[in-house]
Chain A
């Protein structure tokens, strides 16, 4: 992988993560991430649409009149959303029912049109496709993390409803950590999503700050050595 692709991938997964940094697509992120599997399902669907729309937008980017580019992007995104909706209806029907309105609503996910506008309309085919996949996976990562936390805190399970995505055999994947008569509804309802997303963003910022300080310290140490060397001369 060359350095350009590395930057694209790192941007999508961490540095410019759609959920943690751009804060785009929060509506589905907050509404659907009540279990890990729901998050994974919506995340994969979004990744598919992002990859498809980014790739196709970059192919036709030189033929689209500037003035009406947004409606054209939306039409292209909508066709991929229809496509993924039909696929889920056919192969993961239960998950399709659980996610409900949020599958057609992927079309309004601003992370997708944002990438079409900011990246795909200015770059060649392969980088655009890679960017779509990386951004989609970054979004999926956060959806899954948020889903796992909310599921665990809210009802004490992990991978609940795995059979909806992977078929009957996956029922055994569901882990149950504690049983309770009273679910912690706060974690399952949208307010919990806001709080836990806030925590995830805070954790990311802390990690970034630590890395930055470490890099700074290394640099300072090098400078200090240089200065010492100069002083000796």
Chain B
């Protein structure tokens, strides 16, 4: 087809897409650093170095061209997402173990980029979560609520030696202004509910104030902003985040209507934990998500519904990672049943299908 300029160019190379994804996470990254300190950036650095070294080693072992594949940016995006998802001040070797596992067993063993069944970043997260539940579920308090704000040297010291520069225990860093160890809003609500408190009582705590807790609401809003850029640039399929958010909304609304003193509101779910990061950056991974328009809706809805169910009734405070992995398994079946019919073929209703 011959067209005249100007052309509205869409990014087409793998590298370009990967760079856009990384750029779109920047607002969220800034918010995370603002509330939780420089630890997140160290996470990303450690994960990136590990990912690139592992990828190069495995490519060499598999006798594949190292340079071309190594710098397509896909390993970097995986590492970047792992770094964003992990709590700050996690011991460095845990990040290394998780990232190396993701690249080796989840990506390369299946045949490299484009062949993996599961989202590598989320497998790394789940691997670490089930192996080291204590470290993985203890986040720092948002900086304005912290009793002992953690500086840069302390951060490095915690990550690489396990204790602060003066030898203080990591518990120190996790203390809130009231002297108690701080949990994330989702974790906090969960423990309080288990102790028999009601939502209205829990919401008087400073960590839960606002839309979904100090810090977390802004982080989620920032990721939402970055995600919208991805959608506008047509890098991520809009149906997936829409499906995730709709699934979370519907499921939590249903629970909220049955008893709004026992279950969190849909808005809280939307802006708590990893919702926006998961919906826009993780679920939209083009390799492991569904590829048809209808399928993407189903995939997203499934993630949303499972997330709320696990957050409410399961054993872990947040559930985006589990939900994404569970729906990854369903993708081949979803794709099979939502294949668009070729033009001219009759649909069940007897009309020609729109493609």
Q: Please report A residues at the B interface, Cβ cutoff 8 Å.
A: 182-187, 189, 191, 195
Contacts and interface: CB of A to CB of B under 8 A. Distances in A.
Contacts of A186: 127, 130-131
Interface residues of B, number: 9
Contacts of A183: 131
B135 interface: yes
Interface of B: 97, 105, 127, 130-135
Contacts of B105: 195
A187 B132 CA distance: 12
B102 to A, nearest CB: 13
A183 B131 CA distance: 7
Given A182-B135, A195-B105, 13 more contacts: A182-B131, A182-B134, A183-B131, A184-B97, A184-B132, A185-B130, A185-B132, A186-B127, A186-B130, A186-B131, A187-B131, A189-B130, A191-B130
Nearest to B91: A182
19 contacts: A182-B131, A182-B132, A182-B134, A182-B135, A183-B131, A184-B97, A184-B131, A184-B132, A185-B130, A185-B131, A185-B132, A185-B133, A186-B127, A186-B130, A186-B131, A187-B131, A189-B130, A191-B130, A195-B105
Nearest to B134: A182
Question: Which among A185, A187, A189 has the greatest number of chain B C-beta atoms within 10 A?
Answer: A185
Question: Would you call the interface of chain A mostly helix, strand, loop, or mixed?
Answer: helix
Nearest to A185: B131
Contacts of A195: 105
Contacts of A191: 130
The 8 A-B pairs with the shortest beta carbon distances in the complex, nearest first, are A186-B131, A185-B131, A182-B132, A184-B131, A186-B127, A185-B130, A186-B130, A195-B105
DSSP majority for the B interface?
helix
Nearest to B98: A186
Contacts of A185: 130-133
A183 B135 CA distance: 12
A195 B97 CA distance: 15
A211 to B, nearest CB: 20
Nearest to A186: B131
Nearest to B94: A182
B127 to A, nearest CB: 6
A191 B127 CA distance: 9
Contacts of B97: 184
Nearest to B97: A184
A68 B306 CA distance: 47
B128 to A, nearest CB: 8
Contacts of B127: 186
A56 B74 CA distance: 59
Contacts of B131: 182-187
A110 B135 CA distance: 40
A185 B128 CA distance: 9
Contacts of A182: 131-132, 134-135
B256 to A, nearest CB: 34
Nearest to A192: B131
A71 B133 CA distance: 46
Contacts of B132: 182, 184-185
B305 to A, nearest CB: 24
A189 B130 CA distance: 9
A182 to B, nearest CB: 5
A185 B132 CA distance: 7
A184 B96 CA distance: 13
A187 B131 CA distance: 8
Contacts of B133: 185
A6 B135 CA distance: 53
B265 to A, nearest CB: 34
Q: Which of A184, A185, A186 counts the most B-chain CB atoms under 10 A from its CB?
A: A186
A189 B105 CA distance: 17
Nearest to A189: B130
- The residue among B97, B105, B132, B134 with the most chain A CB atoms within 10 A of its own CB is B132
A184 B135 CA distance: 12
A60 to B, nearest CB: 46
Contacts of A189: 130
Interface core residue of B127, B131, B133, B135 (most chain A CB under 10 Å) = B131
B87 to A, nearest CB: 14
